[in-house]
């Protein structure tokens, strides 16, 4: 498929998102598969798993392999377009909000949501082992339905 043909703008909540430009701005070559993924993921702030993205693509009868979804999400993370959030051994979420913030993970529903109040992530600065620096501060507050 020619690249020019895949170039498009996606309308969402009154703003236009140009996936091609967004990928190029992050040094990512905008292939058809990458645009397909970007156009469903990067259009707004959301938390999706690789599986959810893959299913969404399949539902629209578009053929992209699971491997490519994983490879592409990994690439987006390395290039700074996405944050990875590990909530348990079988669930990795991809968060399009790359600014530092924290999350609630509802163990009953499997939903990941943002925590509004920001955490002061400097609390452990004095404990940092020598010759190391902080890559990220990952906070997941596991919540569940109040038992009646």
Partner DNA sequence: ATTGGAATTAGAATAATTCTAATATTAACC
Partner DNA sequence: GGTTAATATTAGAATTATTCTAATTCCAAT
Residues 81-120 that bind a copy of itself (CB under 8 A): 84, 86-89, 92, 102, 104, 106-107, 113, 115-117, 119-120
- Cα within 13 Å of Cα(121), Cβ side: 11
Minimum CB separation from a copy of itself for residue 8, in Å?
A: 32
Residue 128 binds a copy of itself, judged by CB under 8 A: yes
- Cα within 13 Å of Cα(136), Cβ side: 14
Left (φ > 0), alpha (ψ -120 to 50) or beta: where does 110 sit?
Answer: left
- Which of the listed partners (DNA, a copy of itself, none) does 16 bind, with a CB threshold of 5 to 8 Å by partner kind? none
Rounded-to-10 torsion of CA 53, 57, 59, 61: -170
Minimum CB separation from a copy of itself for residue 14, in Å?
A: 27
Minimum CB separation from a copy of itself for residue 32, in Å?
A: 27
**DSSP tag of 123:** T
- Locate tokens 């991809």: which residue? 94
Choices 60-68, 105-113, 125-133, 139-147 (CB under 7 A): range interacting with DNA: 60-68
Biggest alpha carbon–alpha carbon distance for the chain? 58
Residue 77 binds a copy of itself, judged by CB under 8 A: no
Site residues for DNA per CB under 7 A:
1, 3, 28-29, 31-34, 49-51, 63-68, 70-72, 74, 89-90, 92
């Amino acid at each position: 498929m020619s690249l020019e043909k895949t170039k498009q703008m996606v309308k969402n909540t009154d703003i236009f998102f140009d996936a091609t430009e967004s990928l190029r701005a992050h040094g990512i070559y905008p292939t058809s598969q990458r645009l397909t993924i970007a156009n469903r993921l990067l259009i707004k702030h959301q938390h999706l798993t690789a599986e959810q993205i893959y299913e969404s693509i399949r539902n629209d009868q578009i053929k992209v392999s699971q491997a490519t979804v994983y490879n592409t999400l990994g690439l987006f993370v390395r290039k700074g377009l996405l944050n990875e959030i590990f909530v348990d051994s079988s669930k990795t979420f991809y968060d399009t909000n790359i600014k530092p913030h924290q999350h609630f993970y509802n163990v009953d529903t499997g939903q990941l949501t943002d925590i509004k109040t920001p955490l002061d992530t400097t609390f452990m600065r004095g404990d940092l082992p020598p010759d190391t620096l902080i890559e990220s501060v990952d906070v997941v507050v596991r919540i569940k339905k109040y038992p009646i």
